Structure 1
Amino acid sequence: MFQDISIEKLNELRAKNEMTVIDVRSPSEYADSTIPGSINIPFFTDEERAEIGTLYKQVSTQKAKERGLEIMSAKLPVFVKRFAEIPGNKTVFCWRGGMRSRTTATVLSLMGIHVYRLDGGYRTFRKWAVETLGSLDFAPQVYVLHGNTGTGKTEILKALKAKGYPVVDLEGLAGHRGSIFGAIGMKSHNQKTFDAVLLEEILRYRHEPYIIIEAESKRIGKVVLPEFLIQKKELGTHILLEAPKELRVTNILNDYRPEEHKEQSLQAFYQIKSRIHTPIAQEIEACLLSGQYARAVELLLDYYYDPRYAHTSSTYGEEFAKAPLIRFDTLDEAVNQVEERIQHLQDQEALARKVKSGA
């Protein structure tokens, strides 16, 4: 017979890579939000789930169960085989630990395949994630990268992470770059997915001396940052980045690829067109329509993004004004200088701790 497993025990085993987690909900439920790293082996397809739900509401519970049994019986051999092909420990879950995961675990047990069932299902995981983000005591210091649009902050973070630095790419986790054009070429995440993947990253680095993030507003696309991270960012150590405009334009064109997303780029521009001086807005629109994307980006930087960044920067306190400025001409230079700056800051803090302790 199968065993139920608590969310705490499941998280412990997941952290050690000792558990495969399997979401038996429908593909659309899985796509909407799931436990990070889980795989989807649906008990019912979206269409089958809708059909059974209709029977349950409009006919009877018994008819819904009979139809569910009929559907499942026809595909049971393939369903069981997929589980048999997965090695090691396995945990299944559905929405609230109900019929789908219970039936799955029972059938697999009868076939000699042992699985655990998450007590309370995905709903329990979601509750744990929200409560943990709301009460987390996060000790690491935060280094915050600032810079005008197109400076390459995200690429710098990716390069640092590839070198083993404790980086949390908030835009990557949100599936959004944080601007009006931010969703172009990306899949935006909802709050449930963002909270789940963010918490995974935060817990991974909770014992590090610091993490590195990009300066973000409270909202990134569809999602909102948790309060503790906003506070850590505001109290963090700021590092300012400055790149020549030519590099910034190139970075933006490489990242957003407007030639591949012409309509999306145009529609995004229309959302901010009224905020730009009319003659300039008309020129930007003409450039977007004619494929002169470099010129359009340059105008957007001069007349929209740079003034907004200057205004936002002015709202930071005195510590921001004193923050070190890193100027660079290439992204490689930026990565090297950020590394040097962080090492310098870490050395200073180590020395301060040594002096304070009287060593």
Structure 2
Amino acid sequence: MFQDISVNELLELQNKKKMTLIDVRSPSEYRDSTIPGSLNIPVFNDEERAEIGTIYKQVGVDAAKERGLAIMSAKLPAFVKQFKEIDGDKAVYCWRGGMRSRTAATVLSLMDIHVSRITGGIKAYRKYVLDTLEHKTLEAEAFVLHGLTGTGKTAVLRQLQQEGYPVVDLEGLAGHRGSIFGHIGLQASNQKTFDSELVERLKQVESAPYVLFEAESKRIGKIVVPDFLMEKKESGVAIVLELPMEERVRQIMEDYNPAAYKEQYLAAFQLIKNRIHTPVAAEIGRSLEEGRFPQGIRMLLEHYYDPKYNHTSSQYEDASPIVVSVDKVEEAVKAVKEILRNQMQQKTGT
């Protein structure tokens, strides 16, 4: 027989050993939100789930159960085979820890495949995430990257994260770059997914002596950043990146790849062009239309983004920012590493 475990028990078990989580909801439910790192082995696909739901509403519970049993019986060998291919401890869950996860766990138990079932399902996990974010505080010191658009803040953070630094990449978690063009070419996260991924990342860096993240706005696309991170941004050590205009344009070309998404960038530009002096806006539009992207980007920086994001010392709460003025993003990575090393040495007296 399978074993029921709560979300809290699951978290304790995950701290001790590797456990594979399997979301048995439909693919669309899984895409909407899941427990980070979970696999999706659905009891019913989207069409089957819709069919059973219709029968439930129009005919009744018993008829819906009978149809569900018929569908499950037909796919049972393939369903069991997928679980057999997963080594180690496993736990299944659905929306509220109800019929689908109970059915999956019972069937697997009959086939001598032991799984645990997460009581409360994804709904209980969501409550844990929201409670965590509501009461979360960051004790570690924060180093916050500031800088004008195109100064490589995200590129620096991602390089440092690859090297094992305690980075919280908010734009990466949001699937959005934080500008009017920020969603293009990316798969934007919804709030539920962002929150879950953020909680998991914070757990990974909680023992670090500091955290490093970008000075984001309260909103990144449609995502809302928790208050405790915004407060940490204001009180953290500000590191301002400065790059020459040519390097900023090159960085934006690399990050945004405008040639591959020309029509989407043109559509996004229409949303802001009225905020730019008319002759300049017209020239930017022509540059984008004609594929002269570096020229259009440079004008956008000079006439829209740079005036909008006026990075001055008045933004920073207690102390003057640490300014990193370099020629290349690669040099910025090295400079930030040196700042972190020096700051930590001063803290520890070594």
Shift of residue 317, structure 1, vs aligned partner: 3.8
- Structure 1 residues 37, 65: closer, same or farther in 2, change over 3 A? same
When the two structures are superposed, what TM-score results if normalisation uses the length of structure 2?
A: 0.97
When the two structures are superposed, what TM-score results if normalisation uses the length of structure 1?
A: 0.95
Q: What is aligned with 1:161?
A: 161
Shift of residue 8, structure 1, vs aligned partner: 1.4
Q: What is aligned with 1:349?
A: 347
Unaligned runs of 5+ in 2: none
- Structure 1 residues 17, 31: closer, same or farther in 2, change over 3 A? farther
CA distance in 1, matches of 2:317, 2:224: 26
CA distance in 2, matches of 1:307, 1:107: 62
Q: What is aligned with 2:333?
A: 335
Shift of residue 15, structure 1, vs aligned partner: 3.9
- Structure 1 residues 317, 167: closer, same or farther in 2, change over 3 A? closer
- Structure 1 residues 223, 16: closer, same or farther in 2, change over 3 A? farther
CA contact (8 A) 1:19 1:88 kept: yes
CA distance in 1, matches of 2:184, 2:17: 34
Matches within 5 A, 1:128-139: 128-139=128-139
Matches within 5 A, 1:93-172: 93-172=93-172
CA distance in 2, matches of 1:159, 1:2: 43
Within the alignment, does 1:316 sit opposite 2:302 as a pair? no
CA contact (8 A) 1:144 1:212 kept: yes
Shift of residue 37, structure 1, vs aligned partner: 0.2
Deviates more, 1:172-181 or 1:13-22: 13-22
CA distance in 1, matches of 2:314, 2:31: 38
CA contact (8 A) 1:14 1:20 kept: no
CA distance in 1, matches of 2:38, 2:213: 26
CA distance in 1, matches of 2:200, 2:12: 12
CA distance in 1, matches of 2:75, 2:177: 42
CA distance in 2, matches of 1:318, 1:118: 45
CA distance in 2, matches of 1:326, 1:24: 49
Amino acid at match of 1:179: S
Q: What is aligned with 2:70?
A: 70
CA distance in 1, matches of 2:131, 2:49: 30
Matches within 5 A, 1:1-20: 1-20=1-20
Q: What is aligned with 1:277?
A: 277
Amino acid at match of 2:133: L
Q: What is aligned with 1:243?
A: 243
Amino acid at match of 1:68: G
Amino acid at match of 2:233: K
The Cα offsets for residues 21-63 of structure 1, whole Å up to 9 and x where unpaired, read as 0000000000010000000000001000001111111111111
Within the alignment, does 1:44 sit opposite 2:44 as a pair? yes
Q: What is aligned with 1:357?
A: none
Deviates more, 1:170-179 or 1:327-336: 327-336
CA contact (8 A) 1:139 1:207 kept: no
Identity of aligned pairs, percent?
A: 57
CA distance in 1, matches of 2:112, 2:149: 57
Amino acid at match of 1:85: E
Shift of residue 18, structure 1, vs aligned partner: 1.5
CA contact (8 A) 2:234 2:316 kept: no
CA distance in 2, matches of 1:160, 1:74: 49
CA distance in 1, matches of 2:323, 2:188: 32
CA distance in 1, matches of 2:197, 2:99: 27
The Cα offsets for residues 275-328 of structure 1, whole Å up to 9 and x where unpaired, read as 111111111111111101001100100011000110x657624536x1111111
Deviates more, 1:227-236 or 1:144-153: 227-236
Deviates more, 1:4-13 or 1:60-69: 4-13
Q: Alignment partner of 1:319: what SS?
A: coil
The Cα offsets for residues 153-196 of structure 1, whole Å up to 9 and x where unpaired, read as 11111111122211111100100000000001110000000000
Unaligned runs of 5+ in 1: 355-359
CA contact (8 A) 1:147 1:240 kept: yes
- Structure 1 residues 244, 17: closer, same or farther in 2, change over 3 A? farther
CA distance in 2, matches of 1:94, 1:265: 39
Shift of residue 139, structure 1, vs aligned partner: 1.1
CA distance in 2, matches of 1:101, 1:313: 55
CA distance in 2, matches of 1:262, 1:137: 42
CA distance in 2, matches of 1:67, 1:315: 66
The Cα offsets for residues 237-272 of structure 1, whole Å up to 9 and x where unpaired, read as 101110000000000001100100011111111111
- Structure 1 residues 180, 314: closer, same or farther in 2, change over 3 A? farther
The Cα offsets for residues 77-135 of structure 1, whole Å up to 9 and x where unpaired, read as 10011111111100000000000000000000011110000010000000000001111
Q: Alignment partner of 1:142: what SS?
A: strand
Q: Alignment partner of 1:261: what SS?
A: helix
Within the alignment, does 1:263 sit opposite 2:263 as a pair? yes
